């Protein structure tokens, strides 16, 4: 797979995905979105990869969709670009492996929307967040009008989106936009350690947790709880459940040794 703007590295059970267009602060053009799409497919197929860390090269996570590419789009092209981003980010959100965003710097517009499509967000103290679209004459178009309010609540989301203002990592943490804030030099280690902790647990159970949480948040509580019972039951068809519980009863642990079966 020939990639120009993304670096995909495997480190044991985890994948490190780096958006690598630092000259444009990792702005998302069509090519980069298409490469993210390819990388998600690759990670999905690779049964050795059990968790993912997503970060950006240089001083930015992603400073938004590429303004130079968008500037002369017409209505049809604008819509098509929005649909492409929404398709790729939804695929990332639905990837049946946890994705941890390591937010190293500017996380703006489409960059914040990309982060919102991951499972857990860790920010460096240097990261800056915002949805500056209305300062450019557009709306957020890669899920920002939908996911931000679901994560931080309607009022806070509307304030960020209507003002286009930038906030720091501390404020993002206070709002619940990020789950943790760490010093810049600790960011990748922290994200990888979290990914490895997750990857050492029973992979099928972790996958089913992600599916149940994501699916349940989009439906009524009775349907959601019924789905939870289904996935819980399904765990008892796995070797990992048999061996994991067996190990516990023998005063041992299978953490780090699950078979993914
Ligand atoms: C294209 C971008 C870019 C972007 C930065 N660059 N952001 N290029 N699209 N989103 C480029 C700059 O043009 C510049 O290129 C280089 O990256 C370095 O940026 P500077 O502005 O010189 O850096 P700095 O002064 O540190 O300012 C950083 C910044 C600023 C505050 C992040 O770059 C900025 O405001 N960027 C735009 C942020 C934004 O509005 N994002 C939302 C986009 S709309 P040169 O060639 O001059 O060195 C969006 C919509 C999503 O995301 C939905 C679409 C459907």
Q: Provide the residue range defining the domain that includes 220.
A: 203-249
Domain count across the chain? 2
* Mean pLDDT for the stretch of residues 200-205: 98
What is d(CA 38, CA 17) in angstroms, rounded to the nearest whole number? 12
* Ligand 1 pocket: which of 62, 64, 90, 103 to mutate (most atoms within 8 A of CB): 64
Same-domain status, 91 and 170: yes
Tell me how many degrees the CA angle 34-78-160 measures, rounded to the nearest 5: 90
Same-domain status, 148 and 219: no
Sequence-distant contacts of 135-142: CB under 8 A, at least 24 apart: 135/164, 136/67, 138/70, 138/78, 140/109, 140/110, 140/113, 141/65, 141/78, 141/81, 141/82, 141/85, 141/86, 141/110, 142/28, 142/65, 142/82, 142/85, 142/86, 142/89, 142/110, 142/113, 142/114
Same-domain status, 94 and 223: no
Q: Which atom of ligand 1 is nearest to the CA of 166?
A: 31
* Mean pLDDT for the stretch of residues 239-250: 97
**pTM strictly above 0.95:** yes
Same-domain status, 160 and 240: no
Which tens digits make up the pLDDT trace of 49-105?
A: 999 999 999 999 999 999 999 999 999 999 999 999 999 999 999 999 999 999 999
What is d(CA 76, CA 9) in angstroms, rounded to the nearest whole number? 36
* Ligand 1 pocket: which of 5, 19, 21, 25 to mutate (most atoms within 8 A of CB): 25
Same-domain status, 123 and 239: no
Ligand 1 centroid vs 164 CA: distance in angstroms? 14
Binding-site residues, ligand 1, Cβ < 6 A: 24-25, 27, 63-68, 81-82, 85, 106, 108-110, 132-133, 136, 140-142
Q: Which atom of ligand 1 is nearest to the CA of 142?
A: 53
Same-domain status, 131 and 232: no
What is d(CA 114, CA 116) in angstroms, rounded to the nearest whole number? 5
Query: What's the per-residue H, E or C state across 115-181?
Result: HHCCCEEEEECCCEEECHHHHCCCCCCCCHHHHHHHHHCHHHHHHHHHHCCCEEHHHHHHHCCCCEE
Same-domain status, 178 and 88: yes
The residue nearest atom 35 of ligand 1, judged by CA position, is: 63
What is d(CA 47, CA 95) in angstroms, rounded to the nearest whole number? 13
255 in a structural domain: no
Same-domain status, 222 and 107: no
Ligand 1 centroid vs 11 CA: distance in angstroms? 31
The continuous run of DSSP H or E covering 231 comes out as helix 221-235
- The residue among 150, 71, 66 whose CA lies nearest residue 109 is 66
| CATH number of 208's domain | 1.10.12.10
Same-domain status, 195 and 244: no
219 in a structural domain: yes
What's the chain's average pLDDT?
Answer: 98
Same-domain status, 164 and 210: no
pLDDT of residue 249: 97
- pLDDT band at residue 239 using 50, 70 and 90 as cut-offs: very high
Ligand 1 centroid vs 249 CA: distance in angstroms? 56
Which tens digits make up the pLDDT trace of 137-183?
A: 999 999 999 999 999 999 999 999 999 999 999 999 999 999 999 99
- The residue among 148, 147, 170 whose CA lies nearest residue 159 is 148
pLDDT of residue 2: 87
Tell me how many degrees the CA angle 78-82-88 measures, rounded to the nearest 5: 145
Same-domain status, 174 and 220: no
Instruction: Say whether pLDDT at 1 is over 80.
Output: no
- Point out the residues that are catalytic: 113, 133
The residue nearest atom 9 of ligand 1, judged by CA position, is: 66
Confirm if 142 and 86 have CB atoms less than 8 A apart: yes
Q: Which atom of ligand 1 is nearest to the CA of 164?
A: 40
- pLDDT band at residue 44 using 50, 70 and 90 as cut-offs: very high
């Amino acid at each position: 797979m020939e990639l120009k703007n993304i670096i995909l590295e495997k480190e044991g059970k985890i994948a490190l995905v780096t958006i690598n267009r630092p000259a444009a602060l990792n702005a998302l053009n069509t090519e980069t979105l298409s490469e993210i799409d390819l990388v998600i497919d690759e990670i999905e197929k690779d049964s050795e990869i059990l968790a993912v860390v997503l970060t950006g090269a240089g001083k930015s996570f992603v400073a938004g969709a590429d303004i130079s590419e968008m500037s002369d789009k017409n209505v049809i092209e604008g819509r098509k670009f929005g649909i492409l981003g929404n398709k790729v980010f939804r695929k990332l959100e639905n990837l049946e492996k946890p994705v941890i965003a390591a937010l190293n710097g500017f996380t703006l517009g489409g960059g914040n929307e990309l982060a919102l499509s991951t499972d857990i967000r860790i920010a460096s103290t240097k990261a800056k967040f915002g949805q500056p679209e209305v300062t450019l004459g557009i709306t957020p178009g890669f899920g920002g009008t939908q996911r931000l309010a679901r994560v931080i609540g309607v009022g806070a989301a509307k304030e960020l989106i209507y003002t286009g203002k930038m906030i720091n990592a501390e404020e993002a943490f206070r709002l619940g936009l990020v789950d943790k804030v760490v010093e810049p030099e600790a960011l990748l280690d922290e994200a990888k350690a979290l990914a490895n902790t997750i990857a050492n647990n029973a992979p099928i159970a972790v996958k089913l947790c992600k599916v149940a949480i994501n699916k349940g948040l989009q439906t009524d509580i009775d349907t959601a709880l019924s789905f939870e019972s289904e996935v819980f039951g399904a765990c008892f068809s796995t070797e990992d459940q048999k061996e994991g519980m067996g190990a516990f009863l023998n005063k041992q642990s299978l953490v780090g040794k699950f078979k993914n079966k």
